[in-house]
Amino acid sequence: MATVTFDSATRIYPKADRPAVDTLDLEIGDGEFLVLVGPSGCGKSTSLRMLAGLEEIDAGSIRIGDRDVSDAPPKDRDIAMVFQNYALYPHMTVEQNMGFALKIAGVAKDEIGRRVAEAAKILDLEDYLRRRPKALSGGQRQRVAMGRAIVRNPQVFLMDEPLSNLDAKLRVQTRTQIAALQRRLAVTTVYVTHDQVEAMTMGDRVAVLKDGVLQQCDTPGALYERPANTFVAGFIGSPAMNVVTGPAVDGGIRLAGAVLPVPREKLARASAGTGRVTVGFRPESLEIVVPGDGGTGGGVPVVVNVVEQLGSDAYLYATLGADDDGDVLHTADVVVRTEPRTAAAVGQTVHLRVREDCLHVFDPVTQLRVD
């Protein structure tokens, strides 16, 4: 078991004009399950490969435990990796695949057999030990790849989108199994995925990357409740958070002629200099109100384009109209979650209000959260 530390680790690919991973600082605790998540090309796989020793580190360093492994070859790092396409040795049986690393390390034959049998039992692979990879299903191959990592008993597990080749149902099932297995083995794990649902459900903490830069690293709950910037706000949560920018007026932000109340202090800081403010609100924190109801300006009017019925919920995909004052022409798409029975009809105009304390305020220039 060990901690993992990225200390300003940077990777610049030859002939690239910007770093694939830019001064990444990340501290991963002993036994922690950390998920690296982000859109494709954000540098999450590169970060993992740097930790694995498959990618050079151009600046900064990486430590496993107290040991600086920046220049160590993969075999000296005491890590095990699960690849996206499993990378099983095609000519070896499941047993040989799982025991290969131990064989190279010179572990005694009966010890290899014992550890392979143990891992096979955990992963329910006992009946397939003598088969070759091509005679296995996708889920079984995935488990063999996991088994190959487990038998090594490493300090750190590295997983590079291990579920992306499974079908949807198996993916959900395996997701839970991997998370449970990791808790049981209590091995520090770094897990890469582009799927924010996987990230939220599996990780103790989630690190969100974009363009090689770490945006935020926190628990799934905190990422959801307090996104550090508009990118994280839009990336975490499904459907995504609605993020709109509009002119700051007294008491709030003006959207489509109505005023959405924003706490005075946040409004002042976010709009300083520009007179504009960016706000974010999740589909699930919106309420449909009757216009002219109460003293909140009656809610923001939107026109419903599409209604998605999911049974338990309904989602309204609506357009936030242009500002009728004419100085700012601002249309935006807004998603609203509503009760399935009371869902509005297509073409109807509904008025929205954000539930208290559910409004996120961002600086329109820096895109950073304002608290």
What 3-state class would DSSP assign to 85? coil
Q: How far is the C-alpha of 6 from the C-alpha of 24, rounded, in Å?
A: 6
Q: How far is the CB of 132 from another protein (least distance, A)?
A: 6
Q: How far is the CB of 36 from another protein (least distance, A)?
A: 18
Contact residue for another protein among 8, 16, 71, 91 (CB under 8 A)? 91
Contact residue for another protein among 18, 75, 130, 264 (CB under 8 A)? 75
| Closer of 138 and 221 to another protein (Cβ) | 138
Residues that contact another protein, how many (by CB under 8 A): 32
CA distances from 33 to 62, 163, 214, 301, 341 (A): 18, 16, 17, 43, 40
Separation of CA 172 from chain center: 15
264 binds another protein per the rule CB under 8 A:
no
Q: How far is the C-alpha of 335 from the C-alpha of 238, rounded, in Å?
A: 10
| Closer of 192 and 233 to another protein (Cβ) | 192
Interface stretch with another protein, choices 37-45, 83-91, 200-208, 284-292 (CB under 8 A)? 83-91
Site for another protein in 222-261 (CB under 8 A): none
- Tokens (6 digits) for 234: 């839009």
Rg (CA), the chain: 25
Q: Which residues are paired to 368 by β-bridges?
A: 229
Residue ranges of E strands in the chain: 4-11, 21-28, 33-37, 59-64, 67-68, 79-82, 156-160, 188-193, 205-210, 213-218, 242-249, 252-255, 258-261, 276-281, 286-289, 300-309, 314-320, 332-338, 349-354, 360-362
94 binds another protein per the rule CB under 8 A:
no
Contact residue for another protein among 121, 138, 287, 371 (CB under 8 A)? 138
Q: How far is the CB of 358 from another protein (least distance, A)?
A: 41
16 binds another protein per the rule CB under 8 A:
no
Q: How far is the C-alpha of 2 from the C-alpha of 64, rounded, in Å?
A: 6
Cβ pair 8, 32 in contact under 8 A: no
Q: How far is the CB of 107 from another protein (least distance, A)?
A: 11
Separation of CA 167 from chain center: 19
DSSP letter at 261?
Answer: E
Interface stretch with another protein, choices 96-104, 280-288, 318-326, 345-353 (CB under 8 A)? 96-104
DSSP letter at 117?
Answer: H
Cβ pair 144, 125 in contact under 8 A: yes
Query: Residue holding tokens 């709109």?
Result: 244
Q: How far is the C-alpha of 236 from the C-alpha of 255, rounded, in Å?
A: 24
Contact map string, positions 33 to 52, toward another protein, x by CB under 8 A: -------------------x
Contact residue for another protein among 5, 61, 93, 165 (CB under 8 A)? 165
133 binds another protein per the rule CB under 8 A:
yes
13 binds another protein per the rule CB under 8 A:
no
| Closer of 87 and 249 to another protein (Cβ) | 87
What 3-state class would DSSP assign to 192? strand
187 binds another protein per the rule CB under 8 A:
no
Contact residue for another protein among 10, 12, 72, 100 (CB under 8 A)? 100
Q: How far is the CB of 49 from another protein (least distance, A)?
A: 8
| Closer of 135 and 365 to another protein (Cβ) | 135
Q: How far is the CB of 91 from another protein (least distance, A)?
A: 4
Q: Which residues are paired to 63 by β-bridges?
A: 5, 68
Q: How far is the CB of 143 from another protein (least distance, A)?
A: 13
- Interaxial angle between packed helices 109-122 and 94-104, expressed in degrees from 0 to 180 and rounded to the nearest 10: 130
Contact residue for another protein among 89, 114, 186, 366 (CB under 8 A)? 89
The binding site for another protein (CB under 8 A) comprises 52-54, 73-75, 79-81, 83-91, 100-101, 104-105, 132-136, 138, 141, 148, 152, 165
